[in-house]
Chains A and B, each alone.
Chain A
Amino acid sequence: MLAHLINGISLGSIYAIIALGYTMVYGIAKMLNFAHGDVIMVGGYVSFCFMSYMNVPAPIAVLLAMAICTVLGITIERLAYKPLRSATSLAVLITAIGMSYFLQNSALIIWGANPKAYPNIFKDIEAFEMVGGARVSPVAVVAITANLVIMIILTLFTSRTKMGKAMRAVSEDKGAATLMGINVNFTISMTFAIGSGLAAIAGVLLCTAYPTLMPTTGSMPGIKAFTAAVFGGIGSIPGAMIGGILLGVIEILARAYISSELADAIVFGVLIVVLIFRPTGLLGKQIHEKV
């Protein structure tokens, strides 16, 4: 039970890191970035290439993957989303879906359809022994720690720094933010940069925990993380963390105790129940339309 719980929190932490990317982008650009899950996949492949083909040490490979994903995120935003700033949300959504197809098929051409075996970064580290004999893998510990650290840094970033405050201002009201002298386009680019950098970290963690890497690796975790973001209240940073962790725990427990076939159905079922009672998620703001 304890082991399942810790595994759940670990998986949930990975979801939470991905969900942060969704939630920040949604908060600021009011768009569902469907390609976000595929940036995770790119992060996985890039770090894989550095480690397996060039023997780059793992920490440096992670940093390089982050750098490349950040650039990728900014590029995607500039090329595909920025020209649609004034278009309908549906148009932007379809473009994001197109971008998701583009990334998946590019990966298919570059790296092929065969799954790659992701190297175990923590192979020299023994699994930790917990009270009661449960064993906890090092990747679980790293995922949970990384999630907490990212959470704290992001919270401080958005509340203390000038850039973070600009982000919050843009997410409240783009027009007013522009009048206050905030460069809205740059702020949105920065949000994509942060989200994509986080996606790279999530990609490495995800591939270490589940070491088969395919062009579609990012899509299901992407959808689940998006669900987690909605679950916690989209646009809310602590919401993404709570949503992610709850989702991970529910998924692992359902897999262990109910049915592995139905685990995803249960996860989505819980989401629906939450949204019925709290239509904007656990920590989401209730918005009333002005009449």
Chain B
Amino acid sequence: MVEYRIDRRSGVATYLQIVQQTKQALRMGLLEPGDRLPTAREVVESTAINPNTVLKAYRELEREGLVEARRGLGTFVRATLGTGPADSPLRGELTDWARRARAAGLDREDVSALFTSVLKEHFEGDDA
């Protein structure tokens, strides 16, 4: 079971915090297929957030195929989330790119800003 922690000052929409924390728990193996997510009642009683926010987050997770709602029983994990194998070609290319960026004199913040702006350009509109 996961417990959600809502940070009201983060600037990230509350339902997205629940989506992200659930995904994080899936990546870390804290949640596995078959596990039940807390009920909306359980989440709102401990976090004092609006019930619809929890339902919105669960709908989003369901839309992404990560969980499924079973009527009268609760919401259950369907799939795991991998971070991708450490030796995947994409990671290799990114490592090369980071090495070149550093060689070109960019510091950590420059690289991070560049990466974020490219991310933004390519994933605009994908909230989670």
Task: Tell whether A and B belong to one assembly.
Answer: no
